[in-house]
Amino acid sequence: MSFIESGIEHLGKVIKTGYVQWESASENGFFQRLDARIKVLFLIFFIVIVSLKRELLPEIAIAFFVFGLTFASRLNILNFYGRVLFLGFVFGFLIALPSAFNVITKGDIILPLIHFSKPYDLWIYHIPATIGITGEGISVVAMLTLRVINSVSLSFLVLYTTPFADIIRALKVLKVPDAVLMIITLTYKYIFIFAKTIEDMYLAKKSRTASGVSSKDARRWVAGRIAFMFKKSRQRCEDVFNAMIARGFSDTVMLYGFKKMNKLDAAAGFALFSAGIIFLWI
């Protein structure tokens, strides 16, 4: 049951992270004091910049810039970048790693790994006599990894410093369709309900189990819980929809309570926009 325990541990972290987000958003840091509309525009603007840059130096500069904003926002640097680097390693480095080889990215081999007696041609693919890592390939891997790290760190910076309700309000002001706002809101809330339900099921089973469980029985139990959660999810969707209709729900999302932007918001917005222009230029 070790793999189940590991899965439950990760689900517990999902729930904990959701509550930590509210705690970090209430800190008296730099980003926490900014208007949510400024932060959402900042996120969109810098994500576009990260995607457009094609050299390592600007990506590294953006990474240090985001680190400075994270430090100024009084977030837990170790926990923050622990998650960022893990996601960057999995979705950036590991996925881009094959492009470091000369089979995919042509260039000068700096680290030969496999030698054949002669090159081979397989359909449309050419297998050279020596397979190794190229300098150009390393640059590609580094670029893709930095893009993922910068994109994730920017997203986490905004999410960890902004209450979820303020993010929805900001998206509403930016004319995001109401249907999209409803999907985001219900999905966000259901993630925690889903994770807590699975954790409760596992704890209930563990409390009724006196001895160890074989791998076969564990797989059977997991498969059964997957089917149960699918049925429960469909039923929950119908119940939530009926409850919304009973309370007079319409297809229009009405949000209130947005404060006016102050001088700090205007100055910070101008500074962040200017920094983005500089990163576009370099």
Domain ranges of the chain: 27-161+260-281
Residue 1 pLDDT: 47
Residue 47 pLDDT: 92
Taking the C-alpha atoms of residue 32 and residue 72, their distance in angstroms, rounded to an integer, is 10
Tell me if 66 sits within 8 A of 146, measured CB to CB.
no
Q: Which amino acid is at 173?
A: V
Q: Which amino acid is at 165?
A: A
Taking the C-alpha atoms of residue 127 and residue 120, their distance in angstroms, rounded to an integer, is 5
Taking the C-alpha atoms of residue 15 and residue 11, their distance in angstroms, rounded to an integer, is 6
Tell me if 143 sits within 8 A of 54, measured CB to CB.
yes
Residue 59 pLDDT: 92
CA 108 to chain centre: 35
Taking the C-alpha atoms of residue 266 and residue 138, their distance in angstroms, rounded to an integer, is 41
Coil, helix or strand at residue 134: strand
Q: What is the pTM of this model?
A: 0.75
Tell me if 232 sits within 8 A of 197, measured CB to CB.
yes
Burial class (CB in 10 A: 0-12, 13-18, 19+), 46: buried
Angle at 215 between CA 212 and CA 216, to 5 degrees: 115
Coil, helix or strand at residue 101: strand
The per-residue pLDDT string of the chain (282 residues; one tens digit each, 9 = 90 and over) reads 455 555 555 555 555 555 556 555 556 778 888 888 889 899 999 999 999 988 889 999 999 999 999 998 888 888 889 888 988 998 889 998 888 888 787 878 888 887 877 777 777 777 777 788 888 889 989 999 999 999 999 998 988 888 887 888 888 878 888 788 888 877 777 777 777 777 777 777 777 776 666 777 777 877 887 888 788 777 877 787 788 778 777 666 666 666 677 788 888 889 989 989 998 888
* Pair of tokens at residue 182: 């409803």
Tell me if 161 sits within 8 A of 39, measured CB to CB.
yes
Taking the C-alpha atoms of residue 263 and residue 257, their distance in angstroms, rounded to an integer, is 19
